[in-house]
Structure 1
Amino acid sequence: MSAEGPWGSRDGSAPAPDPARRLSGPRAAPREDKGQHPVWAVVSTLLMAGFLWLVTGSWVVAVAVLFGLFVHEYGHVLAMNRVGMGPARIYVIPFLGGLAKGQREPKSEWHGVLVSLAGPAFGLLAMLPFVGLWAATGGDAWLMGAFFIAMINLLNLLPAPPLDGSKALGPVLTRVHPRLEQVALLAVGGLAVWWGLSTGRLILAVFLGLAVIGHLKRGVWRTAWGRLSWPEAGRSLALYLLTAAVCAAAAIGALLPLTGGAVEPALEMGLRFFGVGGR
Protein backbone atom coordinates (compact mmCIF):
# COMPACT_ATOMS: atom_id res chain seq x y z
CA MET A 1 0.00 0.00 0.00
CA SER A 2 1.37 3.38 -0.95
CA ALA A 3 2.02 5.94 1.73
CA GLU A 4 -0.73 8.52 1.90
CA GLY A 5 -0.96 11.77 3.79
CA PRO A 6 -3.96 13.79 4.87
CA TRP A 7 -3.49 16.37 2.14
CA GLY A 8 -2.55 14.24 -0.85
CA SER A 9 -1.10 11.07 -2.34
CA ARG A 10 2.66 10.79 -2.46
CA ASP A 11 2.93 8.55 -5.49
CA GLY A 12 -0.09 9.82 -7.44
CA SER A 13 -1.24 6.28 -8.19
CA ALA A 14 -4.83 5.68 -9.27
CA PRO A 15 -6.99 2.66 -8.47
CA ALA A 16 -7.09 -0.15 -11.03
CA PRO A 17 -10.11 -0.10 -13.36
CA ASP A 18 -12.98 -2.43 -12.57
CA PRO A 19 -12.81 -5.36 -15.06
CA ALA A 20 -16.56 -5.89 -14.79
CA ARG A 21 -17.17 -2.50 -16.37
CA ARG A 22 -14.66 -2.56 -19.22
CA LEU A 23 -17.31 -3.67 -21.72
CA SER A 24 -19.63 -0.79 -20.92
CA GLY A 25 -17.48 1.69 -22.80
CA PRO A 26 -15.14 4.44 -21.55
CA ARG A 27 -16.17 6.26 -18.41
CA ALA A 28 -14.61 9.02 -16.44
CA ALA A 29 -12.62 8.06 -13.35
CA PRO A 30 -14.17 9.13 -10.04
CA ARG A 31 -13.21 12.66 -9.23
CA GLU A 32 -10.75 12.76 -6.37
CA ASP A 33 -11.49 15.03 -3.44
CA LYS A 34 -8.61 17.50 -3.39
CA GLY A 35 -9.31 18.54 0.18
CA GLN A 36 -9.72 21.91 1.82
CA HIS A 37 -8.18 24.86 0.00
CA PRO A 38 -4.94 25.86 1.76
CA VAL A 39 -6.06 29.46 2.25
CA TRP A 40 -9.38 28.45 3.75
CA ALA A 41 -7.62 25.81 5.85
CA VAL A 42 -5.40 28.51 7.39
CA VAL A 43 -8.34 30.87 7.92
CA SER A 44 -10.43 28.09 9.46
CA THR A 45 -7.59 27.14 11.80
CA LEU A 46 -7.11 30.74 12.94
CA LEU A 47 -10.86 31.16 13.49
CA MET A 48 -10.94 27.94 15.46
CA ALA A 49 -7.94 28.99 17.56
CA GLY A 50 -9.48 32.38 18.35
CA PHE A 51 -12.80 30.82 19.26
CA LEU A 52 -11.15 28.29 21.59
CA TRP A 53 -9.14 31.03 23.29
CA LEU A 54 -12.33 33.05 23.77
CA VAL A 55 -14.39 30.23 25.30
CA THR A 56 -11.63 28.71 27.45
CA GLY A 57 -9.85 31.89 28.54
CA SER A 58 -6.51 30.10 28.27
CA TRP A 59 -4.18 30.14 25.30
CA VAL A 60 -2.57 26.93 26.56
CA VAL A 61 -5.91 25.08 26.58
CA ALA A 62 -6.78 26.59 23.19
CA VAL A 63 -3.51 25.34 21.69
CA ALA A 64 -4.00 21.94 23.34
CA VAL A 65 -7.52 21.51 21.95
CA LEU A 66 -6.47 22.62 18.47
CA PHE A 67 -3.46 20.30 18.48
CA GLY A 68 -5.59 17.49 19.86
CA LEU A 69 -8.11 18.09 17.09
CA PHE A 70 -5.52 17.57 14.37
CA VAL A 71 -4.05 14.48 16.02
CA HIS A 72 -7.53 13.02 16.48
CA GLU A 73 -8.45 13.56 12.84
CA TYR A 74 -5.09 12.21 11.69
CA GLY A 75 -5.93 9.01 13.52
CA HIS A 76 -9.02 8.71 11.31
CA VAL A 77 -6.86 9.48 8.27
CA LEU A 78 -4.38 6.72 9.07
CA ALA A 79 -7.18 4.20 9.55
CA MET A 80 -8.99 5.28 6.37
CA ASN A 81 -5.85 4.91 4.31
CA ARG A 82 -5.14 1.55 5.91
CA VAL A 83 -8.55 0.04 5.04
CA GLY A 84 -8.61 1.38 1.48
CA MET A 85 -10.69 4.53 1.88
CA GLY A 86 -7.86 6.95 1.15
CA PRO A 87 -6.20 9.15 0.40
CA ALA A 88 -8.16 10.79 3.19
CA ARG A 89 -8.23 14.53 3.85
CA ILE A 90 -8.57 16.67 6.96
CA TYR A 91 -11.01 19.57 7.05
CA VAL A 92 -11.12 22.23 9.75
CA ILE A 93 -14.65 23.45 10.50
CA PRO A 94 -14.61 26.80 12.33
CA PHE A 95 -16.31 26.80 15.76
CA LEU A 96 -17.14 23.08 15.53
CA GLY A 97 -13.99 21.03 15.10
CA GLY A 98 -12.59 18.91 12.32
CA LEU A 99 -13.50 16.24 9.81
CA ALA A 100 -11.57 13.42 8.18
CA LYS A 101 -12.99 12.48 4.80
CA GLY A 102 -12.04 9.48 2.68
CA GLN A 103 -12.33 9.06 -1.07
CA ARG A 104 -14.73 6.13 -0.80
CA GLU A 105 -16.97 4.36 1.69
CA PRO A 106 -15.59 1.60 3.92
CA LYS A 107 -15.77 -1.88 2.45
CA SER A 108 -17.50 -3.24 5.54
CA GLU A 109 -19.08 -2.11 8.79
CA TRP A 110 -16.08 -3.59 10.64
CA HIS A 111 -13.79 -1.20 8.77
CA GLY A 112 -16.16 1.63 9.63
CA VAL A 113 -15.93 0.78 13.33
CA LEU A 114 -12.13 0.68 13.20
CA VAL A 115 -12.02 4.07 11.47
CA SER A 116 -14.39 5.65 13.99
CA LEU A 117 -12.42 4.44 17.02
CA ALA A 118 -9.03 5.29 15.54
CA GLY A 119 -9.60 9.02 16.11
CA PRO A 120 -10.20 8.93 19.89
CA ALA A 121 -7.55 6.24 20.46
CA PHE A 122 -4.82 7.94 18.42
CA GLY A 123 -5.91 11.38 19.64
CA LEU A 124 -4.71 10.62 23.17
CA LEU A 125 -1.14 10.84 21.90
CA ALA A 126 -1.62 14.60 21.69
CA MET A 127 -1.49 14.66 25.50
CA LEU A 128 2.16 13.61 25.63
CA PRO A 129 3.85 16.97 24.81
CA PHE A 130 1.64 18.79 27.31
CA VAL A 131 2.40 16.31 30.06
CA GLY A 132 6.07 16.70 29.16
CA LEU A 133 5.85 20.49 29.37
CA TRP A 134 4.19 20.18 32.79
CA ALA A 135 7.00 17.90 33.95
CA ALA A 136 9.58 20.40 32.70
CA THR A 137 7.97 23.61 33.93
CA GLY A 138 5.58 22.60 36.71
CA GLY A 139 2.85 24.77 35.17
CA ASP A 140 -0.62 23.44 35.95
CA ALA A 141 -2.01 24.92 32.74
CA TRP A 142 -0.20 22.27 30.72
CA LEU A 143 -1.98 19.54 32.67
CA MET A 144 -5.32 21.22 32.00
CA GLY A 145 -4.44 21.20 28.32
CA ALA A 146 -3.78 17.45 28.51
CA PHE A 147 -7.04 16.97 30.41
CA PHE A 148 -9.07 18.78 27.76
CA ILE A 149 -7.49 16.66 25.02
CA ALA A 150 -8.55 13.49 26.83
CA MET A 151 -12.05 14.82 27.48
CA ILE A 152 -12.60 15.82 23.87
CA ASN A 153 -11.72 12.31 22.75
CA LEU A 154 -13.99 10.87 25.44
CA LEU A 155 -16.82 13.21 24.42
CA ASN A 156 -16.45 12.03 20.82
CA LEU A 157 -17.28 8.52 22.01
CA LEU A 158 -20.74 9.65 23.05
CA PRO A 159 -23.14 7.49 21.00
CA ALA A 160 -24.93 10.47 19.50
CA PRO A 161 -24.90 11.32 15.78
CA PRO A 162 -22.61 12.41 14.21
CA LEU A 163 -19.95 11.74 16.87
CA ASP A 164 -17.54 8.82 16.58
CA GLY A 165 -19.39 6.85 19.24
CA SER A 166 -22.50 6.59 17.10
CA LYS A 167 -20.46 5.13 14.24
CA ALA A 168 -18.75 2.63 16.51
CA LEU A 169 -21.70 1.55 18.65
CA GLY A 170 -24.43 1.96 16.03
CA PRO A 171 -23.46 -1.11 13.97
CA VAL A 172 -23.43 -3.22 17.16
CA LEU A 173 -26.98 -2.14 17.94
CA THR A 174 -28.02 -2.83 14.35
CA ARG A 175 -26.68 -6.37 14.70
CA VAL A 176 -29.26 -6.86 17.46
CA HIS A 177 -32.05 -5.12 15.52
CA PRO A 178 -31.92 -2.34 12.88
CA ARG A 179 -34.50 -0.22 14.69
CA LEU A 180 -32.56 -0.44 17.95
CA GLU A 181 -29.79 1.72 16.50
CA GLN A 182 -32.21 4.36 15.31
CA VAL A 183 -34.11 4.57 18.59
CA ALA A 184 -31.03 4.44 20.82
CA LEU A 185 -28.90 6.93 18.90
CA LEU A 186 -31.71 9.41 18.41
CA ALA A 187 -32.58 9.19 22.11
CA VAL A 188 -28.96 9.73 23.13
CA GLY A 189 -28.71 12.54 20.59
CA GLY A 190 -31.71 14.25 22.16
CA LEU A 191 -30.16 13.92 25.62
CA ALA A 192 -26.90 15.33 24.28
CA VAL A 193 -28.74 18.36 22.91
CA TRP A 194 -30.41 18.86 26.28
CA TRP A 195 -27.03 18.54 28.02
CA GLY A 196 -25.49 21.13 25.70
CA LEU A 197 -28.31 23.59 26.33
CA SER A 198 -28.36 23.05 30.10
CA THR A 199 -24.59 23.49 30.48
CA GLY A 200 -24.27 26.52 28.20
CA ARG A 201 -22.61 24.68 25.31
CA LEU A 202 -24.98 26.26 22.80
CA ILE A 203 -22.92 25.72 19.66
CA LEU A 204 -22.47 22.03 20.46
CA ALA A 205 -26.21 21.74 21.19
CA VAL A 206 -27.14 23.31 17.84
CA PHE A 207 -24.63 21.12 16.00
CA LEU A 208 -25.93 17.92 17.60
CA GLY A 209 -29.52 19.04 17.13
CA LEU A 210 -29.03 19.50 13.39
CA ALA A 211 -27.36 16.09 13.22
CA VAL A 212 -30.30 14.46 15.00
CA ILE A 213 -32.76 16.13 12.61
CA GLY A 214 -30.69 14.91 9.68
CA HIS A 215 -30.81 11.36 11.00
CA LEU A 216 -34.58 11.59 11.44
CA LYS A 217 -34.90 12.33 7.72
CA ARG A 218 -32.94 9.23 6.76
CA GLY A 219 -34.58 6.04 5.59
CA VAL A 220 -33.18 2.57 6.18
CA TRP A 221 -29.71 2.78 7.72
CA ARG A 222 -26.60 0.86 6.80
CA THR A 223 -27.85 -0.85 3.65
CA ALA A 224 -24.67 -0.22 1.65
CA TRP A 225 -22.14 -2.25 3.66
CA GLY A 226 -24.21 -5.00 5.22
CA ARG A 227 -24.10 -5.78 8.91
CA LEU A 228 -21.47 -6.89 11.38
CA SER A 229 -21.21 -10.57 12.09
CA TRP A 230 -21.79 -11.57 15.70
CA PRO A 231 -18.04 -12.01 16.36
CA GLU A 232 -17.37 -8.60 14.79
CA ALA A 233 -20.12 -7.07 16.92
CA GLY A 234 -18.49 -8.51 20.03
CA ARG A 235 -15.08 -7.17 19.05
CA SER A 236 -16.57 -3.78 18.19
CA LEU A 237 -18.27 -3.48 21.57
CA ALA A 238 -15.09 -4.55 23.38
CA LEU A 239 -12.98 -2.02 21.46
CA TYR A 240 -15.51 0.73 22.09
CA LEU A 241 -15.60 0.09 25.84
CA LEU A 242 -11.80 -0.22 26.00
CA THR A 243 -11.28 3.05 24.13
CA ALA A 244 -13.78 4.84 26.39
CA ALA A 245 -12.10 3.45 29.51
CA VAL A 246 -8.64 4.51 28.34
CA CYS A 247 -9.86 8.03 27.49
CA ALA A 248 -11.54 8.37 30.89
CA ALA A 249 -8.46 7.06 32.69
CA ALA A 250 -6.23 9.47 30.75
CA ALA A 251 -8.45 12.42 31.72
CA ILE A 252 -8.43 11.50 35.41
CA GLY A 253 -4.70 10.78 35.24
CA ALA A 254 -4.02 14.27 33.93
CA LEU A 255 -5.77 15.73 36.98
CA LEU A 256 -4.13 13.57 39.63
CA PRO A 257 -1.06 15.81 40.08
CA LEU A 258 -3.45 18.71 40.77
CA THR A 259 -5.19 16.80 43.56
CA GLY A 260 -2.10 15.35 45.21
CA GLY A 261 -2.76 11.94 43.68
CA ALA A 262 -6.26 11.65 45.18
CA VAL A 263 -8.62 9.94 42.75
CA GLU A 264 -11.94 11.14 44.13
CA PRO A 265 -11.22 14.90 43.83
CA ALA A 266 -9.82 14.30 40.35
CA LEU A 267 -13.00 12.47 39.42
CA GLU A 268 -15.10 15.33 40.77
CA MET A 269 -13.09 17.82 38.68
CA GLY A 270 -13.67 15.66 35.61
CA LEU A 271 -17.40 15.45 36.24
CA ARG A 272 -17.63 19.23 36.49
CA PHE A 273 -16.51 19.33 32.87
CA PHE A 274 -19.82 17.61 32.05
CA GLY A 275 -21.77 19.97 34.32
CA VAL A 276 -22.20 17.31 37.01
CA GLY A 277 -21.55 18.22 40.62
CA GLY A 278 -20.83 21.50 42.34
CA ARG A 279 -18.93 24.37 40.85
Structure 2
Amino acid sequence: MTDDTTPRAGPSTGPRAGERPRGPWDPDPNAPPAPKVTERRLGPLHIRVERGVRPATAPTPAQAPGGTGAAQGGVLDKGQSPAWALISTLLLGGFLWWMTGSLIIVACALFGLLVHEYGHVLAMNRVGMGPARIYIIPFLGGLAKGQRPPVSEWHGVLVSLAGPAFGLLAILPVVGVWQATGQEEWLIGAFFIGLINLVNMAPASPLDGSHALGPVLARVHPLLEKGALLVIGAAVVAWGFATGRWILAAFLCLSLFAQLRAGPMREGETQLSNGQAVASLGLYVLTLALCAGATVAALLPLADGSVAGAASAGLRVLGFDRLFGGAG
Protein backbone atom coordinates (compact mmCIF):
# COMPACT_ATOMS: atom_id res chain seq x y z
CA MET A 1 0.00 0.00 0.00
CA THR A 2 1.29 3.46 -0.89
CA ASP A 3 0.23 6.97 -0.11
CA ASP A 4 -0.41 9.23 -3.09
CA THR A 5 1.28 12.14 -1.29
CA THR A 6 4.53 10.23 -0.81
CA PRO A 7 7.24 11.54 -3.19
CA ARG A 8 8.26 9.05 -5.83
CA ALA A 9 11.46 8.72 -7.79
CA GLY A 10 11.50 10.03 -11.33
CA PRO A 11 10.86 13.31 -13.06
CA SER A 12 7.92 15.47 -12.10
CA THR A 13 6.42 18.33 -14.07
CA GLY A 14 4.31 19.82 -11.30
CA PRO A 15 2.75 19.30 -7.89
CA ARG A 16 1.06 15.95 -7.30
CA ALA A 17 -2.43 15.49 -5.92
CA GLY A 18 -2.71 16.73 -2.36
CA GLU A 19 0.60 18.59 -2.56
CA ARG A 20 0.80 22.42 -2.51
CA PRO A 21 2.93 24.22 -5.08
CA ARG A 22 6.44 25.22 -3.99
CA GLY A 23 6.66 28.89 -3.10
CA PRO A 24 9.62 31.27 -3.19
CA TRP A 25 10.10 30.79 0.55
CA ASP A 26 10.68 27.04 0.20
CA PRO A 27 14.24 25.71 -0.10
CA ASP A 28 15.48 25.00 -3.58
CA PRO A 29 15.78 21.19 -3.94
CA ASN A 30 18.67 21.69 -6.37
CA ALA A 31 20.66 23.91 -3.99
CA PRO A 32 23.82 22.39 -2.42
CA PRO A 33 23.47 21.31 1.22
CA ALA A 34 24.33 23.85 3.89
CA PRO A 35 27.75 23.37 5.49
CA LYS A 36 27.88 21.57 8.79
CA VAL A 37 29.96 23.52 11.27
CA THR A 38 31.53 21.86 14.27
CA GLU A 39 33.25 23.74 17.05
CA ARG A 40 36.40 22.70 18.88
CA ARG A 41 38.12 24.17 21.90
CA LEU A 42 41.89 23.81 21.67
CA GLY A 43 44.26 23.81 24.62
CA PRO A 44 43.94 25.27 28.08
CA LEU A 45 43.11 28.70 26.64
CA HIS A 46 40.05 27.11 24.96
CA ILE A 47 40.77 28.76 21.64
CA ARG A 48 37.57 28.55 19.60
CA VAL A 49 38.00 26.99 16.17
CA GLU A 50 35.14 26.31 13.78
CA ARG A 51 35.54 23.66 11.15
CA GLY A 52 33.09 23.58 8.26
CA VAL A 53 32.37 20.48 6.16
CA ARG A 54 31.34 21.80 2.76
CA PRO A 55 30.42 20.20 -0.57
CA ALA A 56 33.26 19.35 -2.91
CA THR A 57 33.30 22.57 -4.90
CA ALA A 58 36.11 24.75 -6.18
CA PRO A 59 37.54 26.81 -3.32
CA THR A 60 36.81 30.51 -3.29
CA PRO A 61 39.64 32.99 -2.53
CA ALA A 62 38.39 33.15 1.05
CA GLN A 63 38.67 29.37 1.44
CA ALA A 64 41.76 28.67 -0.63
CA PRO A 65 44.64 27.18 1.37
CA GLY A 66 47.09 29.85 2.36
CA GLY A 67 44.81 32.62 1.11
CA THR A 68 44.06 35.87 2.85
CA GLY A 69 40.31 35.50 2.97
CA ALA A 70 38.12 34.85 5.96
CA ALA A 71 38.75 31.73 8.00
CA GLN A 72 36.29 28.88 8.00
CA GLY A 73 33.22 30.01 9.80
CA GLY A 74 33.42 33.40 8.07
CA VAL A 75 35.33 35.28 10.78
CA LEU A 76 38.89 36.42 10.16
CA ASP A 77 41.01 36.61 13.29
CA LYS A 78 42.61 40.05 13.18
CA GLY A 79 45.01 39.24 15.97
CA GLN A 80 45.84 40.91 19.26
CA SER A 81 45.09 44.63 19.43
CA PRO A 82 48.23 46.81 19.50
CA ALA A 83 47.31 48.25 22.90
CA TRP A 84 46.79 44.86 24.52
CA ALA A 85 49.92 43.50 22.82
CA LEU A 86 51.95 46.35 24.33
CA ILE A 87 50.42 45.86 27.79
CA SER A 88 50.99 42.09 27.63
CA THR A 89 54.60 42.58 26.54
CA LEU A 90 55.25 45.05 29.38
CA LEU A 91 53.70 42.66 31.91
CA LEU A 92 55.75 39.75 30.60
CA GLY A 93 58.91 41.85 30.51
CA GLY A 94 58.31 43.12 34.03
CA PHE A 95 57.84 39.57 35.27
CA LEU A 96 61.07 38.47 33.60
CA TRP A 97 62.93 41.45 35.07
CA TRP A 98 61.61 40.55 38.54
CA MET A 99 62.96 37.01 38.01
CA THR A 100 66.34 37.92 36.52
CA GLY A 101 67.07 41.53 37.51
CA SER A 102 68.63 42.21 34.10
CA LEU A 103 67.17 44.29 31.28
CA ILE A 104 69.58 42.64 28.85
CA ILE A 105 68.26 39.19 29.69
CA VAL A 106 64.67 40.48 29.45
CA ALA A 107 65.35 41.94 25.99
CA CYS A 108 66.97 38.69 24.85
CA ALA A 109 64.11 36.55 26.17
CA LEU A 110 61.44 38.71 24.51
CA PHE A 111 63.37 38.72 21.24
CA GLY A 112 63.79 34.95 21.40
CA LEU A 113 60.09 34.48 22.16
CA LEU A 114 59.04 36.54 19.12
CA VAL A 115 61.43 34.68 16.81
CA HIS A 116 60.12 31.35 18.18
CA GLU A 117 56.49 32.29 17.55
CA TYR A 118 57.33 33.70 14.13
CA GLY A 119 58.69 30.26 13.22
CA HIS A 120 55.22 28.85 13.92
CA VAL A 121 53.65 31.66 11.87
CA LEU A 122 55.85 30.94 8.84
CA ALA A 123 54.99 27.23 8.99
CA MET A 124 51.26 27.88 9.48
CA ASN A 125 51.15 30.18 6.47
CA ARG A 126 53.12 27.64 4.44
CA VAL A 127 50.70 24.73 5.08
CA GLY A 128 47.51 26.74 4.57
CA MET A 129 46.57 27.66 8.14
CA GLY A 130 47.24 31.38 7.73
CA PRO A 131 47.29 34.22 7.90
CA ALA A 132 48.59 33.32 11.36
CA ARG A 133 48.86 35.80 14.25
CA ILE A 134 51.09 36.13 17.30
CA TYR A 135 49.63 36.74 20.75
CA ILE A 136 51.65 37.74 23.81
CA ILE A 137 50.37 36.16 27.02
CA PRO A 138 51.23 38.06 30.22
CA PHE A 139 53.52 36.18 32.63
CA LEU A 140 53.63 33.08 30.39
CA GLY A 141 54.97 33.71 26.91
CA GLY A 142 53.48 33.73 23.44
CA LEU A 143 51.03 31.95 21.20
CA ALA A 144 50.86 31.59 17.43
CA LYS A 145 47.31 31.12 16.19
CA GLY A 146 46.22 30.10 12.72
CA GLN A 147 42.92 30.81 11.03
CA ARG A 148 42.09 27.11 10.72
CA PRO A 149 43.41 23.79 12.07
CA PRO A 150 45.95 21.78 10.05
CA VAL A 151 44.45 19.39 7.53
CA SER A 152 46.80 16.60 8.56
CA GLU A 153 48.82 15.48 11.55
CA TRP A 154 51.96 15.80 9.43
CA HIS A 155 51.30 19.50 8.97
CA GLY A 156 50.69 19.80 12.71
CA VAL A 157 54.05 18.19 13.46
CA LEU A 158 55.86 20.54 11.08
CA VAL A 159 54.16 23.60 12.59
CA SER A 160 55.00 22.48 16.13
CA LEU A 161 58.69 21.90 15.43
CA ALA A 162 59.09 25.06 13.35
CA GLY A 163 58.91 27.27 16.45
CA PRO A 164 61.81 25.72 18.40
CA ALA A 165 63.93 25.14 15.29
CA PHE A 166 63.50 28.66 13.94
CA GLY A 167 63.70 30.16 17.43
CA LEU A 168 67.31 29.03 17.82
CA LEU A 169 68.32 31.57 15.17
CA ALA A 170 67.71 34.32 17.73
CA ILE A 171 70.83 33.15 19.58
CA LEU A 172 73.16 34.21 16.76
CA PRO A 173 72.82 38.02 17.00
CA VAL A 174 72.88 37.85 20.81
CA VAL A 175 76.17 35.95 20.76
CA GLY A 176 77.45 38.49 18.24
CA VAL A 177 76.67 41.34 20.66
CA TRP A 178 78.54 39.44 23.41
CA GLN A 179 81.59 39.08 21.20
CA ALA A 180 81.49 42.82 20.44
CA THR A 181 80.94 44.01 24.03
CA GLY A 182 82.33 41.24 26.23
CA GLN A 183 79.34 41.53 28.61
CA GLU A 184 78.52 38.11 30.05
CA GLU A 185 74.84 39.00 30.46
CA TRP A 186 74.44 38.59 26.73
CA LEU A 187 75.58 34.97 27.03
CA ILE A 188 73.03 34.39 29.77
CA GLY A 189 70.44 35.98 27.46
CA ALA A 190 71.45 33.54 24.72
CA PHE A 191 71.08 30.73 27.24
CA PHE A 192 67.53 31.87 28.05
CA ILE A 193 66.66 31.91 24.35
CA GLY A 194 67.84 28.32 24.06
CA LEU A 195 65.96 27.44 27.22
CA ILE A 196 62.68 28.82 25.84
CA ASN A 197 62.95 26.49 22.87
CA LEU A 198 64.22 23.53 24.89
CA VAL A 199 61.40 23.70 27.46
CA ASN A 200 58.87 23.89 24.63
CA MET A 201 60.13 20.54 23.37
CA ALA A 202 58.82 18.81 26.51
CA PRO A 203 55.98 16.46 25.48
CA ALA A 204 53.50 18.04 27.90
CA SER A 205 50.36 19.84 26.78
CA PRO A 206 50.18 22.58 25.53
CA LEU A 207 53.91 22.74 24.74
CA ASP A 208 55.18 22.13 21.22
CA GLY A 209 56.64 18.75 22.10
CA SER A 210 53.21 17.30 22.83
CA HIS A 211 51.91 18.31 19.38
CA ALA A 212 55.03 16.95 17.67
CA LEU A 213 55.40 13.65 19.54
CA GLY A 214 51.71 12.96 20.28
CA PRO A 215 50.72 11.89 16.74
CA VAL A 216 53.69 9.49 16.63
CA LEU A 217 52.56 7.81 19.84
CA ALA A 218 48.96 7.72 18.58
CA ARG A 219 50.20 5.85 15.51
CA VAL A 220 51.04 3.00 17.87
CA HIS A 221 47.83 3.32 19.92
CA PRO A 222 45.65 6.34 20.85
CA LEU A 223 45.75 5.38 24.52
CA LEU A 224 49.55 5.38 24.44
CA GLU A 225 49.52 9.04 23.44
CA LYS A 226 47.04 10.06 26.13
CA GLY A 227 48.74 8.00 28.83
CA ALA A 228 52.25 9.17 28.02
CA LEU A 229 51.30 12.84 27.75
CA LEU A 230 49.37 12.70 31.02
CA VAL A 231 52.25 11.06 32.89
CA ILE A 232 54.83 13.46 31.45
CA GLY A 233 52.48 16.41 31.99
CA ALA A 234 52.00 15.47 35.63
CA ALA A 235 55.79 15.18 36.07
CA VAL A 236 56.33 18.62 34.52
CA VAL A 237 53.65 20.13 36.77
CA ALA A 238 55.32 18.55 39.81
CA TRP A 239 58.68 19.95 38.67
CA GLY A 240 57.17 23.42 38.36
CA PHE A 241 55.72 23.41 41.86
CA ALA A 242 58.84 21.81 43.38
CA THR A 243 61.16 24.43 41.87
CA GLY A 244 58.99 27.44 42.68
CA ARG A 245 57.75 28.12 39.14
CA TRP A 246 54.20 28.57 40.37
CA ILE A 247 52.65 30.39 37.41
CA LEU A 248 54.03 27.95 34.82
CA ALA A 249 53.05 24.98 36.99
CA ALA A 250 49.49 26.30 37.46
CA PHE A 251 49.16 26.93 33.72
CA LEU A 252 50.35 23.42 32.85
CA CYS A 253 48.09 21.98 35.53
CA LEU A 254 45.05 23.65 33.94
CA SER A 255 46.15 22.30 30.59
CA LEU A 256 46.47 18.82 32.06
CA PHE A 257 42.89 18.95 33.37
CA ALA A 258 41.71 20.23 29.98
CA GLN A 259 43.43 17.29 28.32
CA LEU A 260 41.68 14.87 30.68
CA ARG A 261 38.32 16.31 29.68
CA ALA A 262 39.10 16.59 25.98
CA GLY A 263 37.56 14.33 23.37
CA PRO A 264 39.40 12.73 20.46
CA MET A 265 42.66 14.48 19.68
CA ARG A 266 43.11 16.12 16.25
CA GLU A 267 39.64 15.05 15.14
CA GLY A 268 39.24 15.27 11.37
CA GLU A 269 42.97 15.51 10.60
CA THR A 270 44.58 12.96 8.30
CA GLN A 271 46.67 10.56 10.38
CA LEU A 272 50.39 10.08 9.93
CA SER A 273 51.50 7.40 7.52
CA ASN A 274 54.21 5.01 8.65
CA GLY A 275 56.84 7.00 6.79
CA GLN A 276 55.60 10.29 8.23
CA ALA A 277 55.62 8.82 11.74
CA VAL A 278 59.28 7.80 11.36
CA ALA A 279 60.13 11.21 9.90
CA SER A 280 58.25 12.99 12.70
CA LEU A 281 60.13 11.07 15.37
CA GLY A 282 63.45 11.78 13.66
CA LEU A 283 62.67 15.51 13.34
CA TYR A 284 61.59 15.64 16.99
CA VAL A 285 64.82 14.01 18.21
CA LEU A 286 66.93 16.23 15.93
CA THR A 287 65.18 19.44 17.06
CA LEU A 288 65.45 18.39 20.71
CA ALA A 289 69.18 17.72 20.30
CA LEU A 290 69.71 21.09 18.59
CA CYS A 291 67.84 22.94 21.35
CA ALA A 292 69.78 21.15 24.10
CA GLY A 293 73.10 21.67 22.33
CA ALA A 294 72.50 25.38 21.67
CA THR A 295 71.39 25.95 25.27
CA VAL A 296 74.50 24.31 26.70
CA ALA A 297 76.79 25.95 24.12
CA ALA A 298 75.64 29.41 25.23
CA LEU A 299 77.15 28.76 28.66
CA LEU A 300 80.44 27.26 27.45
CA PRO A 301 82.43 30.53 27.66
CA LEU A 302 81.23 30.97 31.26
CA ALA A 303 82.28 27.39 32.12
CA ASP A 304 85.81 27.68 30.65
CA GLY A 305 84.80 25.49 27.73
CA SER A 306 83.66 22.59 29.91
CA VAL A 307 80.56 20.88 28.48
CA ALA A 308 79.91 19.17 31.82
CA GLY A 309 80.23 22.48 33.66
CA ALA A 310 77.87 24.25 31.23
CA ALA A 311 75.33 21.42 31.45
CA SER A 312 75.53 21.45 35.24
CA ALA A 313 74.92 25.21 35.30
CA GLY A 314 71.91 24.78 33.02
CA LEU A 315 70.44 22.07 35.24
CA ARG A 316 70.86 24.35 38.26
CA VAL A 317 68.88 27.05 36.48
CA LEU A 318 66.12 24.49 35.88
CA GLY A 319 66.12 23.65 39.57
CA PHE A 320 67.27 20.05 39.35
CA ASP A 321 69.84 20.65 42.08
CA ARG A 322 66.97 21.29 44.49
CA LEU A 323 65.09 18.22 43.31
CA PHE A 324 68.04 15.88 43.81
CA GLY A 325 69.65 17.52 46.79
CA GLY A 326 72.60 18.98 44.93
CA ALA A 327 72.29 22.40 46.53
CA GLY A 328 73.72 21.46 49.83
Normalising by the residue count of structure 2, what TM-score does the alignment of the two structures yield?
0.76
What does residue 242 of structure 1 align with?
286
- Partners of 2:155 and 2:307 in 1: how far apart? 36
- Partners of 1:130 and 1:235 in 2: how far apart? 31
Post-superposition Cα deviations, 1:75-117, rounded to whole Å, max 9, x if no partner, equal 0000000000000000001001100000011111000000000
What does residue 15 of structure 1 align with?
none
CA drift of 1:19 comes to: 6.5
Letter in 2 for 1:164: D
CA drift of 1:273 comes to: 2.0
What does residue 156 of structure 2 align with?
112
Match of 1:53 among 88, 97, 107: 97
- Partners of 2:106 and 2:211 in 1: how far apart? 27
Of structures 1 and 2, the larger Rg is shown by: 2
- Partners of 1:55 and 1:274 in 2: how far apart? 13
What does residue 174 of structure 1 align with?
218
Match of 1:127 among 139, 159, 171: 171
What does residue 145 of structure 1 align with?
189
- Partners of 1:86 and 1:134 in 2: how far apart? 36
Q: Percent identity?
A: 63
What does residue 92 of structure 1 align with?
136
What does residue 242 of structure 2 align with?
198
Number of residue equivalences: 257
2:216 corresponds to 1:187:
no
More helix by share: 1
Match of 2:56 among 10, 16, 20: 20
Normalising by the residue count of structure 1, what TM-score does the alignment of the two structures yield?
0.89
Post-superposition Cα deviations, 1:142-182, rounded to whole Å, max 9, x if no partner, equal 00000010011000000000000000000000000001010
Alignment of 1:61-80 (within 5 A): 61-80=105-124
CA contact (8 A) 2:237 2:252 kept: yes
Post-superposition Cα deviations, 1:188-209, rounded to whole Å, max 9, x if no partner, equal 1100000000000000000000
Which segments of 5 or more consecutive residues in structure 2 lack a partner in the other structure? 1-53, 59-69
- Partners of 2:114 and 2:190 in 1: how far apart? 14
Letter in 1 for 2:277: A
Moved over 6 A (4+): none
- Partners of 2:250 and 2:142 in 1: how far apart? 16
Match of 2:200 among 156, 176, 193: 156
CA contact (8 A) 2:117 2:143 kept: yes
Letter in 1 for 2:244: G
- Partners of 1:249 and 1:266 in 2: how far apart? 10
2:144 corresponds to 1:103:
no
